[in-house]
Amino acid sequence: MTNQSCTNLDEEIFSEVLAEDFFQSDEEFISALGSAYTSLYGYMDGRMLSVQEVASDAVVVPTRGQDWDDGGHWRRLHQHLYTADDPEAGNAWSFCYSGINACNRLLFQFEQSGNADAAGFISELKVLRAMYYYWLLDVFGNVPIVERFDVPADFAPATTPRAEVYTFIETEVLDNIDALTKSVDGSVYARVHYYVAQALLAKLYLNAEVYTGTPQWDKALDAINEIVNSGIYDLEDNYFDNFKTENSASRENIFVIPYDQVFAGGFNIVARTLHYGSQATFNLTFQPWNGFCTVQEFYNSFDSLTDRRADMFIVGPQFAADGVTRVDDSGAEADDFDGTPLTFTPSINELGPNARRQAGARIGKYEFALGATNNLSNDFPVYRYGDILLMKAEVLWRQNPGSTEALDLVNEIRARAGAPEFATLDADLLLAERGREMAFETHRRTDLIRFGKYNDAWWEKDASDPTKNIFPIPRGQIDANKNLTQNPGY
Amino acid sequence: MSIKHKLTSIRMLLLTMLVIVTCGSVSAQTVTGKVTSSRDGAALAGATVLVQGTNTGAFTDENGEYTVNVSGDGVLIFRYVGHETLEEAVNGRSTINVTLQASEKTLDEVVVTGYGTQKAKEVTSAITSVKAEDFNGGNVNDPSQLLQGKVAGLAISRPGGNPNGGFNIRLRGLSTVGANTQPLIIIDGVPGADLSTVDPQDIASVDVLKDGSASAIYGTRGASGVILITTKKGIAGNANIDYNGYAAFESIDRVVDVLTADEYRNFGGGTDLGESTDWFDEITRTGLSNVHNVSLSGGTAQTSYRVSLNYRNIQGVAINTGFDQLNGRINLSQKALNDKLTIDLNLASTQRNSDFGFDQAFRYATIYNPTAPVRSTDPEFDQYDGYFQQVLFDYYNPVAILEQNTNEAKRKQIIANIRGTYELAEGLNFSMFYSQQRQNTIGGVYWDKNSFLTGADRNGLATRRSDDQFFQLFESTLNYNNTFGALNLDLLAGYSYQDFLNEGFGATGGDFLTDAFQFNSLGDAGDFNNGLGSVFSYKNSEKLIAFFGRVQGNIDDTYYFSASLRREGSSRFGTENQWGLFPGISAGVVLSNLFTVEGLDFMKLRAGYGVTGNRPNQSYISLLSFGQVGNFFFNGEFVPSYGPTGTNVNPDLKWETKSDISVGLDFSMMGYRLNGTIDFYQTTTNDLILPFTVPVPPNLTNTTIVNIGELTNSGLEFSLTYDAVDNDGFKWTPGINGTYYLGTNLVSLSNEDFNFGGFRLISNLGSPGQNNTPLVRVEEGASLGQLWGLTYEGINDDGTWRFTDLNGDGQINDEDESVIGNGLPVFQLGFNNTFQFGNFDLNFFFRGVFGHEMVNTFRAFYEAPSTISSYNILATSSDIAELTDSPRFSSLHVEDASFLKLDNATLGYTIPLAGDASFRKIRLYVAGQNLLTFTGYTGVDPEVRFQDGADPLAPGIDRRNTYFRSRTITVGVNLGLQ
């Protein structure tokens, strides 16, 4: 017992590295930068998927007897009866702000480090942060803006009105876009670069009327044309090449979340949508959860005879991986149409509580590789060129309903899917086409709102109040920060 | 030889001479006299006066007087409870008045306090001492089992009969929610020693420090109470060899009441697979255990030793569960330097091999179709090794789980202590103590390639992990004891240093060519090539340093006082807040020395106040450290991404402090036959250390460990022992203790920075289908343990649930939820009876806990008749047969779980031995545990669930993985050789 240790209570660390000892090498800077991107992995793990799709007319999570009741929040999401206590809004909130926090922290640490290389990352981080804020703008509308990491512990930021959040995002992107690289190669795959920033601007301007009351079609078109005219992107011949397991080579990918079953888990739609018995169909390494499926009307909006995109649904008799043996659903309800052999039916008998376990067309848009884990390796396209072309068509149509260029762009998309050409365009056709092309890519709720259809009645849902167009600020956040103001209607 | 002995010898010599002289004139005569007590000279009514060597005798009347016929050379034996027995030769006298010496045995018993001992009568705090003879009997494998129900205010609970399961120990209710809720265990002076390092057979006594004035000397870790365990030591004298051994038979006492195969077929709606299987039978057995303990002890005036070896082979009631354990202990004491120096040495080592099994099997046994076969020869099931399986959500053959897979661990523990005490001067002792404990656990789990639950999907899955925990303790104390006139003073000063180091590593990987490797050749796992394998290692440390002092005194054996102070620091706090100050003060006055009350032999009033602390459960809270947070796709490949890990940094975190007031009364009445204690306590805990949800932004993550809020807790305890009968050959000693919990109140969970928001709903019921269904409401300003939900009213005509529309808005939603129970008990009772008749001894012990409610999650999931389409359902489903709705939690599933158990009964027979036999003692016994349970609770075990997982804010939830309740019959022998 030495004198020194007699009252020495310094903590000894072994398997941790202190923040102050980090940032010693380039590798460490890159590793640190990564933590702003790894936050994205929650995107399809329910975080954005649920609020953007289950609240829309495309996806439904029926209560199947014992399964998926969960206090009724899935039904409330579908019926637009969500409350500040329901988990999905809280999940989306935490998802966005954990990303924003990571960006703020890195901006602070990179600036503190004085490292020249680190400075190169600052614009990238600011635009990535703007992307997280864009999702908050879209989902919650009025949110607090926090730009700095070094705030006092009791800092309680107030809610910023939606229009100001819009301006903040626009300014951040415009201030930093020119510092971003325009040379798009493997080194910036799944990272923010110039065209990702343009795609973000395009989304922001396309929905500007919803966010601020003032449309920005011209600005939207400028941003879209920056991407289209770059010549970097093109439509894939096969629509489904965008969604297969090895889809990183797709020329439509503008910004993806690079999911991977080993390194970047979180893309678990395979578990959410498939039936327990489907494990045998895909030799999955886990038992799926039998939840998410599509609403029959949405399924019917695809012409399965001509539109190849209809193959994104899994319906009908299910077979084991050998393609021959029927999969048995030994827990089939007595009144199931086809009894024990597992058969997915597009029609769903009810939203709950006793939706049949085999009911509902399943979401098979993203390839399920044989032997997949519940973390798919398919990269998820956040911004895809097909979307950009439809956005361009919509902007042109909104500027001039008779625009032939708009019609041609829509028909280009339809032709790729093998669907017959449209002769004219109208709002319903455009929205339906976006529905088919962009299904389950987390754009449906935003599109419905922009086309004024979000509050309509649909299957098992009454007409909803426009206050439901933005989600409530989660109760935990309101409780923890007295400066937050709840959105109207909650 | 003592003076008393000398007198007796002389008297015997005289007596012998008298007998010789008067031997010719022996004749029967009548003797009368009066029996009084030495205590106050009062007459003793009902005392036994027995003629030695005969069955004749008499009782004294209400004046203490007796008449008996005895021969002139006879001997009378005077006996009265609470007094020393007296033998008196008649010697021809016709009047013999005697005074029986009142025994103050219980008041002179040694009580172990922190860093010292006191006599019971000197104690000024709430301390309960339990000696080995009062321990629970039967198949006891965990030291805490010895005390279950024996100590007022001490609740010890283990739902179900898992042989590898730990006990939840809670003293005087709950005084912390984010830190350690279990009392500090101190074994032979080593704070934080692991209970499993000591075999129950080696324990001499357990002392429970219940209030802050007593436990403040342990400062930081005393907030949830302190339990001091003293192991048996050698005693100077003959060498003794003792053997204690028993065999135990453990069988299922209660399982979940589900439909049998025939009932299932008749119920309708289920799929009849044609067989009849009792799944509980299939996964259980009668567990046969055997336990052996051999000890050698003895010593001289300078050296004493006790060496023991304990072997336990325990089978659980679930197949493929249990453990075997070998424990050895050496306790050695040596005096030197003219007896001024004493060296004490303890060395103990335990090796334990455990088979844990898989608790999921209990859940699946409950819901598995009773018409399904266990195994099938259909080739379809070859892929599952012939076990029958069906593809349903969360549905697996429970026999397959337990038989195909392995879940085991080997744990080695070694603890070594050495203490040197030197008498510097009369009454002045200096002591140095060093202790080291190391525990290494290596565990392995293997899921078979054909195991459907998991394993088949990974082509075999193996996990191996090794954890090493080490601590060392250095303490040095100076003690001075002296008497100055009427004042006796005992002074203590000390320093304590303890450091902890935890490290370990592990790996998980699947994809094996063969099941032959199990988890023993992880390198063969294909997963380490395809990236699905995972490895980890860790290492962390902690330091605790303390200075402490205490003054204890007594004036005239009437006024007692004690004051202690500990200044303690922990490395887990930020540098500004590491040190805390923990005072304790108490005083007592022997009222019976100040005035006399008829019938009262002794009465002491005492009161104490103490402050104790709690530190957080983890290190490095004040440091911002980086760890891997996933992988980042950079330049075409994934690189590890680093960012802050865990909770937000909080360098301002400080000690959680608990202050408590305790008032108690100890008394003895009826000539020391009735001894009792009454205690009242009130505690207030401030600056609770809690993981708190903080806003994001501005915080990095949504959890910060903060000091927040206030918790109060109070209760009333009593214990009574009564020497009801103590006649020749028959003795009955009943004892009773009770605790009335006056309530645990969550005064606040907010501070100036963070607002809890009044209430929060926690503890999700879970999958299938009842996620987002909180069961517990945590409310500021209300009592802890509120169960929360809709109120069940009945079933509508259309077969749907009917709940109470509390707010009358015509809708049933969250706003109609209310408090529908409380998971914490109101009253706890222990009732012990010890009988001795001749060579037989009988003990039976009732234990009851009352007033707590419990969420029966089995019913919440599997009672609704509609679930039969996929699962077996509970027998109680017939009560709600008209329900067609899916399961939904409500007050229907909250049940009163009060219970009274015949916890323990032991019948022993001691074979009478001639004085020169080579055996000192031969006792045979049979014991039963968990023999009878009286309860209205329909679940498996009504024992209190003090926490949900690790969350003490959510008591009262009976989750589905509960191990079955078991009953044990033990047959054993105690042998003493000399």
pLDDT in tens, B769-818: 788 889 999 999 999 999 999 999 999 999 899 999 999 998 888 889 99
Report the chain B residue with the minimal C-alpha distance to residue A473.
B695
The confidence score (pLDDT) of residue A197 equals: 97
The confidence score (pLDDT) of residue B893 equals: 96
Between CA A394 and CA A443 the distance in angstroms is: 14
In the block, tokens 């602390």 appear at: B613
∠ Cα A443 A448 A454 (to 5°): 130
Q: State the sign of the Cα–Cα–Cα–Cα dihedral A98, A104, A105, A107.
A: positive
Please name the residues in contact with A67: beta carbons below 8 A apart, sequence gap of 6 or more.
A289, A290, A291, A357, B393, B767, B768, B769
B639/A34 CB distance under 8 A: yes
Q: Is B382 helix (H, G, I), strand (E, B) or coil?
A: helix
Contact A68, A276 (CB under 8 A): no
pLDDT in tens, B831-855: 999 998 988 999 999 999 999 999 9
| Chain centroid to CA A349 | 28
pLDDT in tens, A82-114: 999 888 999 999 999 989 988 998 898 888 877
Mutate to test the interface with A, among B474, B618, B707, B772 (most CBs of A within 10 A): B772
Between CA B11 and CA B34 the distance in angstroms is: 22
The confidence score (pLDDT) of residue B6 equals: 43
Between CA B972 and CA B246 the distance in angstroms is: 4
Contact B803, B792 (CB under 8 A): yes
Interface ipTM:
0.84
The confidence score (pLDDT) of residue A5 equals: 63
Between CA B905 and CA B723 the distance in angstroms is: 19
| Chain centroid to CA A295 | 19
Interface residue A154 vs chain B (CB under 8 A): yes
DSSP 8-state secondary structure symbol assigned to residue A311? G
Contact B122, B113 (CB under 8 A): no
Please name the residues in contact with B31: beta carbons below 8 A apart, sequence gap of 6 or more.
B67, B68, B69, B70, B76, B90, B93, B94, B95, B96
The pTM for the full model equals 0.81
Among the partner residues B391, B571, B756, nearest to A10 by beta-carbon distance = B571
Q: Which residues of A touch B620 (CB under 8 A)?
A: 11, 13, 16
pLDDT in tens, A151-194: 876 788 999 999 999 999 999 999 999 999 999 988 899 999 99
pLDDT of residue B15 exceeding 50: no
Q: Which residues of A touch B811 (CB under 8 A)?
A: none
Helix (H), strand (E) at residue B283: helix B279-283
Q: Which chain A residues in 446-475 lie under 8 Å from chain B, judged by CB atoms?
A: 475
The confidence score (pLDDT) of residue A150 equals: 82
Backbone angles phi, psi at A456, to 5 degrees: -65, 160
Interface residue B484 vs chain A (CB under 8 A): no
Which two structure tokens, joined as six digits, stand for A436?
């088919």
Report the chain A residue with the minimal C-alpha distance to residue B541.
A12
Q: Which residues of A touch B542 (CB under 8 A)?
A: 11
Q: What integer is the mean pLDDT of B460-485?
A: 95
How many percent of chain B have pLDDT more than 70? Answer: 96
The DSSP bridge pattern shows strands B226-231 and B184-187 to be parallel
Between CA B938 and CA B582 the distance in angstroms is: 45
Q: Which chain A residues in 192-231 lie under 8 Å from chain B, judged by CB atoms?
A: none
pLDDT in tens, B544-594: 999 999 999 999 889 999 999 999 999 999 888 899 999 999 999 999 889
What's at B415, amino acid-wise?
A: I
Overall size of chain A counted in residues: 490
Contact A169, A135 (CB under 8 A): no
Torsion of CA B334, B336, B338, B339, to 10 degrees: -30
Overall size of chain B counted in residues: 978
A279/B457 CB distance under 8 A: yes
pLDDT of residue A377 exceeding 80: yes
- Residues facing residue B166 across a β-bridge: none
pLDDT in tens, A295-350: 999 999 999 889 999 999 999 999 999 999 999 887 666 666 667 889 999 999 99
Interface residue B834 vs chain A (CB under 8 A): no
Residues B142-155 as b/e (b if ≥16 CB within 10 A, e otherwise) read bbbbbbbbbbbbbb
E strand spans, A273-422: 293-294, 313-314, 316-317, 343-344, 362-363, 380-384
Among the partner residues A13, A101, A480, nearest to B700 by beta-carbon distance = A101
What's at A67, amino acid-wise?
A: D
Q: Which chain B residues in 559-588 lie under 8 Å from chain A, judged by CB atoms?
A: 569-572, 575, 578
pLDDT in tens, B816-832: 999 999 999 999 999 99
Which candidate, A83, A209, A208, A48, places its Cα nearest to that of A486?
Answer: A83
Interface residue B530 vs chain A (CB under 8 A): yes
Q: Which residues of B touch A12 (CB under 8 A)?
A: 541, 571
Between CA A433 and CA A412 the distance in angstroms is: 12
B620/A186 CB distance under 8 A: no
Q: How many CA atoms lie within 13 A of B11 on its CB side?
A: 11
Contact B138, B970 (CB under 8 A): yes
Mutate to test the interface with A, among B388, B618, B626 (most CBs of A within 10 A): B626
What's at B537, amino acid-wise?
A: S
CA distance A13 to chain B (A): 6
Interface residue B269 vs chain A (CB under 8 A): yes
Between CA B180 and CA B176 the distance in angstroms is: 7
Among the partner residues B622, B633, B760, nearest to A258 by beta-carbon distance = B633
B539/A15 CB distance under 8 A: yes
B869/A85 CB distance under 8 A: no
The confidence score (pLDDT) of residue A3 equals: 41
CA distance B807 to chain A (A): 18
B578/A94 CB distance under 8 A: no
Among the partner residues A98, A286, A331, nearest to B696 by beta-carbon distance = A98
The confidence score (pLDDT) of residue B24 equals: 40
In this prediction, residue B718 has a pLDDT band, given cuts at 50, 70 and 90, of very high
pLDDT of residue B10 exceeding 70: no
pLDDT in tens, A195-219: 999 999 999 999 999 999 999 999 9
Count CB atoms within 10 A of the CB of residue B842.
16
Q: Is A65 helix (H, G, I), strand (E, B) or coil?
A: coil
pLDDT of residue B17 exceeding 50: no
Q: What integer is the mean pLDDT of B523-542?
A: 90
DSSP 8-state secondary structure symbol assigned to residue A53? I
In the block, tokens 């240790």 appear at: A5
Q: What are A394-403's contacts with CB under 8 Å, separation 24+?
A: A394/A206, A394/A430, A394/A434, A395/A206, A395/A217, A395/A220, A395/A221, A395/A224, A396/A221, A397/A425, A397/A430, A398/A215, A398/A217, A399/A217, A399/A218, A399/A221, A401/A425, A401/A426
Contact B777, B759 (CB under 8 A): yes
Interface residue B899 vs chain A (CB under 8 A): no
pLDDT of residue B753 exceeding 80: no
DSSP 8-state secondary structure symbol assigned to residue B699? S
Which candidate, B504, B506, B389, places its Cα nearest to that of B457?
Answer: B389
Report the chain B residue with the minimal C-alpha distance to residue A257.
B633
Query: How far is the CA of B516 from the CAs of B279, B510, B707, in angstroms?
Result: 28, 13, 52
pLDDT in tens, B651-704: 889 999 999 999 999 999 887 889 999 999 999 999 998 888 777 767 777 788
pLDDT in tens, B75-129: 888 887 767 788 888 888 889 999 888 766 666 778 888 888 888 888 888 888 8
B630/A35 CB distance under 8 A: yes
Contact B419, B432 (CB under 8 A): yes
A10/B269 CB distance under 8 A: no
Contact B734, B769 (CB under 8 A): no
Q: Which residues of B touch A476 (CB under 8 A)?
A: 693, 702
Please name the residues in contact with B511: beta carbons below 8 A apart, sequence gap of 6 or more.
B458, B459, B460, B525, B526, B527, B530, B532
The confidence score (pLDDT) of residue B12 equals: 45
Between CA B959 and CA B949 the distance in angstroms is: 9
Report the chain A residue with the minimal C-alpha distance to residue B536.
A15
Q: State the sign of the Cα–Cα–Cα–Cα dihedral B198, B203, B207, B210.
A: positive
Interface residue A132 vs chain B (CB under 8 A): no
Between CA B173 and CA B180 the distance in angstroms is: 13
B696/A65 CB distance under 8 A: no
